[in-house]
Amino acid sequence: MKYFSTHNQNNFVSFREAVLNGLAQDGGLFMPEIIPSFSKSFIENLNSFSFKEIGTETAKRFIGDEIDDQKLHEIIERSLYFPAPIVNLDENTHVLELFHGPTLAFKDFGAQFMARTMEYFVKDLNKELAILVATSGDTGSAVAHGFYGVEGIKVYLLYPSGKVSSIQEKQLTTLDKNITALEIQGTFDDCQDLVKKAFTDNYLKNKLNLSSANSINIVRLIPQSFYYINAIKQLKQNKNKIVFSVPSGNLGNITAGLIAKKMGMPIDLFIAATNSNNVFTNYLSTGNFEPRKSVQTFSNAMDVGNPSNFERIRMLYEDNIEKMRNEIESLSFNDEKTIDGIKEVYSKYGYIIDPHGAVGYMALKKYLDIHKQNKIDSVIVETAHPAKFKEVVENAISKEVKIPQRLAECLNKEKKSIVLDSKFETFKDFLSAN
């Protein structure tokens, strides 16, 4: 399998190059030359495959012979050691829980697989790899824990000062060794812009071995497709139409789902559920993609004003918005409606949902109200444990949210971060000196 840049479809690189470079030299995102398909027999016999076997079969199609079968098996074994269960709210409404990994967020799936894959590839390098990560909350902690202590790799986490939850910040800033937290005085978009500029800066490219662990890196998206396929396995006893409602910010999670669909999974529709940062919702409505400065919300992992993976979605649909609209709807909800969603899910089902999942729930509810369709299995993608947003959730449901032990352990640790302004020259100078 070869990979091309979204800015130049004629320039191909290997999977290894795409993974280690993160971003193409022209600033584009890497895409596989084709979206591989599953055989009819694989899809019909999903029930006979474990989650790890699904991961292996999927990954093989994107990696080819660049990682041998035995090593790929080891990578999957070390990456998918936690589940992604479907929980039923009622007969046809389900929650896909993606918060059972080490940092209690869906980013753990991508980060663990990425760390093991990069660890395999980096052994051939003659100098250290510097991984740059822009995070609005969960990505940074997942990447930090995935790469913690990996030899030959340094990780720099860029997060917006004052714009992540206190628990998320503790997860980001309490590791040592090869992990450095950079507290940027700006928004997530400023952090993401710094990372992108670093990749296209000739001085830094010559001085450092740079890569990215954001969803701009294709190796983050591939393992995220695993849990959509595994979710279909869990639902497959039904013959209903299947709809996923996906909390959407940088659009990486929904892109992974779309890739699973393109591979042959029987998914009828995706709902891109956005908060007040609704650039993609507006695009599907108007046809105009108009990035803007992000605003802070309770569902902070979705606080993105210029979603990077929009480029990949355009590629998947050959820049045809009508094709896109046939398979993706998008609905937006502000903080007030998010709180309503948390309250309603708890009062109606006794289920405690986090703010991101609540946006997904509200979007699904509105979609079903509009379309009045029967025989739908609807899945809300729950991306983070509610304890990561303890104050917001507790205020909504008037009930204590218990903090899991592995999350509680970091709360008493000392915060270690380096504060930088959002100017690229400041960031460049820091990287050059370190």
Q: Is residue 33 part of a domain?
A: no
pLDDT of 237: 64
Task: Indicate the SS3 state at residue 87.
Answer: strand
Question: Residue 181: its pLDDT value, please?
Answer: 95
Which pLDDT does position 137 carry in this prediction? 72
Range of the domain at 311: 83-104+221-403
Which CATH number belongs to the domain containing residue 381 in this structure? 3.40.50.1100
Is the Cα dihedral 312, 427, 187, 136 positive or negative?
Answer: positive
pLDDT of 229-274, one tens digit each? 999 999 976 678 999 999 999 999 999 999 999 999 999 999 999 9
Residue 185 φ/ψ, nearest 5 degrees: -80, 80
Domain count across the chain: 1
According to the model, what pLDDT value does residue 238 have? 64
Residues 179 and 264: their CA atoms lie apart, in Å, by: 38
**What is the spatial distance between Cα 207 and Cα 142, in angstroms, rounded to a whole number?**
27
Residue 107 is a catalytic residue: yes
DSSP, residue by residue, 9-68: EEEEE-HHHHHHH-S-TTSPPEEESS-----HHHHHTGGGS-HHHHHHHHHHHHHTTSS-
Q: Does residue 367 sit within a domain?
A: yes
pLDDT of 42-69, one tens digit each? Answer: 999 999 999 999 999 999 999 999 999 9
- Residue 417 inside a domain? The answer is no
pLDDT, residue 409, reads 86
Structural domain includes residue 426: no
Q: Which of 94, 57, 35, 1 is nearest to 260 (CA)?
A: 35
Across the chain, which has 434 residues, the per-10-residue mean pLDDT values are 95 93 90 96 94 98 96 96 97 96 94 93 84 84 89 92 88 91 94 91 89 87 97 84 96 97 97 98 97 93 93 96 98 98 98 98 96 87 95 97 89 92 97 90
- What pLDDT, on a 0 to 100 scale, did the predictor assign at position 375? 83
CA distances in angstroms from 2 to 96, 265, 272, 378, 403, listed in the order given: 31, 23, 29, 35, 43
* 21 assigned to some structural domain: no
Rounded CA gap, 25 and 5, in Å? 9
Residue 206 is predicted with a pLDDT of 86
Half-sphere exposure in the Cβ direction for 96 (13 Å, CA):
29
Q: Which of 52, 60, 107, 197 is catalytic?
A: 107
Identify whether 331 is part of a domain.
yes
Residue 77 lies in a domain: no
Q: What is the pLDDT of residues 269-308, one digit of tens each?
A: 999 999 999 999 999 999 999 999 999 999 999 999 999 9
Residue 325 lies in a domain: yes
Residues sharing a CB contact under 8 Å with residue 384, sequence separation 6 or more, in sequence order: 98, 99, 104, 105, 106, 138, 301, 354, 356, 357
